[in-house]
Chains A and B, each alone.
Chain A
Amino acid sequence: DGGITQSPKYLFRKEGQNVTLSCEQNLNHDAMYWYRQDPGQGLRLIYYSQIVNDFQKGDIAEGYSVSREKKESFPLTVTSAQKNPTAFYLCASSARVQPQHFGDGTRLSIL
């Protein structure tokens, strides 16, 4: 079954800690994306990657970092520099000029 897997579904972090959210896809898509959703708001782009070993900042990249060492994987690290990390994080992937497919998200909360 092809799809996008995000783990964990729920994540709790203490203030000052970095935390990494996992995103894996087996759709053979070149492009992968990370979005953040806050209550009452649309999805906002954090980072995206069109190809392995390359990625670009989105609209709200401050306090986040990513890597793209493998085509299938695009982990997102929420660093301690992110002042308001509590949100719902969504990973997506797409083939060229095709709509983005989304995972089921990770909800991050600060203890």
Chain B
Amino acid sequence: DQQVKQNSPSLSVQEGRISILNCDYTNSMFDYFLWYKKYPAEGPTFLISISSIKDKNEDGRFTVFLNKSAKHLSLHIVPSQPGDSAVYFCAAHSRRNTDKLIFGTGTRLQVFP
């Protein structure tokens, strides 16, 4: 039972354009969401997060949107750069269980010139 789903295994975007990565979740107890970025042969690095009390969080080129009624979140990268090419993981946990981080299967983003 996949509680966090990333239905697009890959995404290809031209440099300078917007990249939109999507994530859906099924557990209504989740109230904190994170995005991690992973390069090959390296561990994931934390990118941005959002609490369920917000519907948007922005950090430079990265913005995360949360739609609680749809149980959906998305990561927007504007403008996309070749260095953004990596695998992006969505993750979630509940306030009651902050140690149990549930990850999606990841989306491989490729930004081409």
Contacts and interface: CB of A to CB of B under 8 A. Distances in A.
Interface of chain B, helix or strand or loop or mixed?
strand
A105 interface: yes
A84 to B, nearest CB: 18
Nearest to A90: B43
- Chain B's interface size range is 20 to 34
A42 interface: yes
Interface stretch (A14-22, A43-51, A63-71): A43-51
B25 interface: no
B53 to A, nearest CB: 14
B46 A101 contact: yes
Nearest to A48: B99
Interface in A84-111: 90, 92, 97, 99-105
A78 to B, nearest CB: 18
Contacts, number: 52
A9 B89 CA distance: 22
Contacts of B89: 42-43
Contacts of A100: 46, 101
B103 A42 contact: yes
Interface string B30-55: 00001010000111111001000000
Interface of B: 4, 9, 34, 36, 41-46, 49, 89, 91, 98-106
Interface of A: 4, 6, 9, 31, 33, 35, 40-45, 48, 50, 56, 58-59, 90, 92, 97, 99-105
